[in-house]
Amino acid sequence: MYKFVTILIILGQFTYAQNTQKQDTTSTSLEDVFITANRTKTLRKETPVAISKITAKTIDETKASALYEIANKTPGVVMVNLGNEQHAMSIRQPISYSSYYLYLEDGLPIRPLGIFNHNALLEINQFNLQSIEIVKGPVSSLYGPEAIGGTINLISQKPSYYPEFKFGIQADQWGYKRIQAAGGATLGKIGFHVAGISSLQENSWLANSDYTKDNLNVRVDYAITDHTRLISNTMVGNYYSDMSSSLNEADFYSRNYTSTSDFTYRKSEALRTRLTLEHDWNSKSSTSFTAYHRDNKLGQNPSYSIIWSQTNNPTTATGQINSSNFKSYGGVAQHTQKFDFWRTTMVSGASFDFSPVTYWAYLINLSATLNDGEVGKQTVSKYEIVAEHPETKLVDYSSDVYNTAFFNQVSFSPIEELVVTIGGRYDNMKLDYQNAINLSTGEKTYDKFTFKAGANFNPYKEAGFYGNYSQGFAPPGITSIFRLKTGTGGTTGVPADFYYNLEPATFENYEVGGWLSLFENKLNFDYALYYMVGTNEQLSVKLEDNSTDYRSAGKTSHKGIELGLTYKPSTQWNLRIGGTVSKHEYIDFKVSDKSSDVLQNLGGYEMPQAPRWSGNSEVSYYPNWLPNLRASVEWQLISSYFQDQVNTVKYDGYNLFNGRIGYKFKCIEIYGNVMNITDKLYAYNVSRANLTTSQSSYTTAAPRTFLIGLQYNLSLKK
């Protein structure tokens, strides 16, 4: 049974009642204030990037069981649900597990540079979110490497001024349950906010998919003086999930929600704590310093690491058990200075991060039970562990990771209608490593200066335009560098070989966009057109035995149009339409050096898992005849895409509908969500290796799901 997480609360400048007032949900008006794009509070019309805000009202009304339900409401964002809050991402990139996204918690990266994990957001407490800001495109000049496809800043609840408390439960028919509570207040100069969730999944529709998650967030604010504040944030989280396998084509289309393994899992223990000192020197000058610590342990017996070959003893396979652990010690200093001349604002800062990391993985031998079928086209019905071999290490390294950065950005307005922004950042990532597999030690350094320049032009009160050029930079993740190459080391008798030759990826992004607000802010429209070229982008080639080879590609291109519209014709109706059309291609990607191979280079091919169209739209209804009722219908679209890199097989994509309804009576709120209203058979992701004998692998999505919940909200605002 899962634990009940208790929480008192007090503190925050916005009471629950204020947060639930009727307002635009995800609309972005010219007067919206953002923090992420410029590391300081900035109006939308002064921000030369594509940025969206998901408000507290949207988060509250969504009542999401997982973060992807919220993030996907942003045009250009496809957060792919992999089950049990595990996920992949697509923002100006194909659906992938790549390290080209930066995840922030109140402006601070959740993980250090070089230790990216695409599942990092499963550590987030959804009940502690005030808002979410999503920047699309590179912002490496402010936040550093990995801020390329997109940057997601999860902004936590602040202490409320008056005492508040809320408590909720939710459950669905597939064995999912969650208890959540939060509260806060301000007592004199001290304010605090505490939020916790405890989730449990048992006996789901999908085999081998139980999970538990417990998170607790605590924030304490101390107003030392009217101009000086001390803020502490602490997060503690524990997560354990069975890891179901993907399905073959026959099982997928017959809705046989089985798993070829019942022993695979993922578990995580995370601690993040920070202490921030803020001081306002005057109305034009402020300084902050943040010291932080992270402690993260991630252990796995991953289903995706099972290697099986039809041609070489098909009744056997191999897998691995691995563990990745790191601690971080670091600090960020930032100063913001405003000048009267041309209304100039300058943001300058520096950061340092020291993260010792260890990673090991050892071999397990498996037996494979085959389904009946034609030889060469058979599939596996069940894997079982035959033996574990802790003595046979596949990966075994330790590394001290040093990240140092300096950044500066200046914005100024030479004329009333024009705001110009110029910024740059220098990053240096140094690795001191010990590789126990080949008994080597060494040092690797990746460094880069990245630059951006943009301008906003606002000729009218109701409209604005912007353009920008920005650079992105991402060194290879150290997990990829020290991954043993297929066919080397271990029991093969061949000397061990690693990916020491992976190059850092660089990106150049060109972008124009704008926004329009009409009818007293009832209609809001924004758009962005972008073209991004990647050089040495780290990509993977999926081999026939399910293993992965890593390459630094020559060049790739990413281009598209993002559109978002909200229309609120009356207090009763709210329409939101959002989507993107994009194309992701290889310009030059050498995949083979063998003259006997037909395919040498993927130049001109589309990248796999890259739908041309995607979108999320919603109609919400707030009836005047029953003021505390809300109802909405949401439409999610993913168009067809190639499953493989050689563009031979496509997945059709899907159209999906979700519904939500809720009613408040005094302090009580009851709600229900229906996910996948039409019970559509679809997959979150479909992939395939490049050989003609390869078979498709389906990450299947949930059938129709009914979630119900009850929430108690108390605010003692006078």
DSSP class of residue 96?
B
C-alpha 337/C-alpha 71 separation (Å) is 33
How many CB atoms within 10 Å of residue 193? Answer: 29
- Pairing type for strands 555-567 and 548-552 reads unpaired
Which string of DSSP letters, residue by residue, matches 228-260?
A: EEEEEEEEEEEEEEE-PPPB-HHHHHTT----S
Strands (E), 256-379: 265-282, 285-301, 307-308, 316-339, 344-370
CB-based contacts of 439, cutoff 8 Å, min separation 6: none
Strand partners, 707: 172, 673
Angle at 527 between CA 521 and CA 529, to 5 degrees: 165
CB-based contacts of 597, cutoff 8 Å, min separation 6: none
pLDDT of 650: 95
Which range marks the domain in which residue 503 is found?
Answer: 9-379+396-715
- C-alpha distance across the termini of the chain, in Å: 40
In whole angstroms, how far apart are CA 171 and each of 202, 239, 546?
Answer: 11, 18, 36
Query: Which run of H or of E encompasses 176?
Result: strand 176-187
Residue (of 244, 238, 177) closest to 382 by Cα position: 244
pLDDT of 486: 67
Residue (of 261, 398, 242) closest to 324 by Cα position: 398
**In angstroms, how far is CA 547 from the centroid of its own chain?**
24
Contact criterion met (CB below 8 Å) for 420 and 106 = no
Strands (E), 639-687: 641-642, 650-651, 654-665, 668-675, 683-687
C-alpha 3/C-alpha 89 separation (Å) is 30
pLDDT of 2: 38
Query: Which run of H or of E encompasses 396?
Result: strand 380-415
Encode 628-650: b = buried (16+ Cβ within 10 Å), e = exposed.
eebebbbebbbbebbbbbbeeeb
Q: Which two tokens stand for residue 290?
A: 């943040």
Residues of the chain predicted below pLDDT 70: 1-31, 373-377, 486-495, 542-547, 594-598, 718
pLDDT of 589: 86
Query: What are the contacts of 250-259 at 24+ separation with CB within 8 A?
Result: 250/371, 250/379, 251/698, 252/681, 252/683, 252/698, 252/700, 253/681, 255/681, 255/703, 257/205, 257/206, 257/207, 257/700, 258/207, 258/381, 259/206, 259/207, 259/208, 259/209, 259/303
pLDDT of 379: 84
pLDDT in tens, 320-368: 999 999 999 999 999 999 999 999 999 999 999 999 999 999 999 999 9
Q: What's the total number of domains in the chain? A: 1
CB-based contacts of 415, cutoff 8 Å, min separation 6: none
User: Looking at the domain assignment, is residue 299 inside a domain?
Assistant: yes
Q: Could you tell me the sign of the dihedral formed by the alpha carbons of 247, 251, 255, 256, in that order?
A: negative
- For residue 661, the one-letter residue type is I
User: Looking at the domain assignment, is residue 318 inside a domain?
Assistant: yes
User: Looking at the domain assignment, is residue 529 inside a domain?
Assistant: yes
- For residue 571, the one-letter residue type is T
- Pairing type for strands 307-308 and 316-339 reads antiparallel
Alpha helices by DSSP H, 127-239: 140-143
C-alpha 574/C-alpha 619 separation (Å) is 6
Angle at 404 between CA 473 and CA 234, to 5 degrees: 100
* CATH code for the domain of 87: 2.40.170.20
pLDDT of 146: 84
- Pairing type for strands 150-156 and 101-105 reads parallel
- As a dihedral over the C-alpha atoms of residue 125, residue 219, residue 5, residue 298, rounded to 10 degrees, the angle is 50
pLDDT of 195: 97
User: Looking at the domain assignment, is residue 2 inside a domain?
Assistant: no
CB-based contacts of 170, cutoff 8 Å, min separation 6: 63, 65, 177, 178, 180, 707, 708, 709, 710
pLDDT of 145: 84
User: Looking at the domain assignment, is residue 386 inside a domain?
Assistant: no
Which string of DSSP letters, residue by residue, matches 676-710?
A: STT----EEEEE--SSTT---EEEEPP--EEEEEE
User: Looking at the domain assignment, is residue 391 inside a domain?
Assistant: no
pLDDT of 8: 31
C-alpha 586/C-alpha 510 separation (Å) is 18
Residue (of 277, 494, 262) closest to 385 by Cα position: 262
How many CA atoms lie less than 13 Å away from 273 in the CB half-sphere? 8
Contact criterion met (CB below 8 Å) for 446 and 504 = yes
pLDDT of 495: 66
3-state secondary structure of 16: helix
- For residue 184, the one-letter residue type is G
- For residue 4, the one-letter residue type is F
User: Looking at the domain assignment, is residue 178 inside a domain?
Assistant: yes
User: Looking at the domain assignment, is residue 389 inside a domain?
Assistant: no
Contact criterion met (CB below 8 Å) for 151 and 101 = yes
Query: What are the contacts of 622-630 at 24+ separation with CB within 8 A?
Result: 622/22, 622/571, 622/572, 622/573, 622/574, 623/572, 624/571, 624/572, 626/663, 628/663, 628/664, 628/665, 629/661, 629/662, 629/663, 630/61, 630/660, 630/661, 630/662, 630/663
Contact criterion met (CB below 8 Å) for 201 and 214 = no
C-alpha 648/C-alpha 606 separation (Å) is 11
In whole angstroms, how far apart are CA 475 and each of 186, 510, 538?
Answer: 44, 21, 9
C-alpha 101/C-alpha 89 separation (Å) is 8
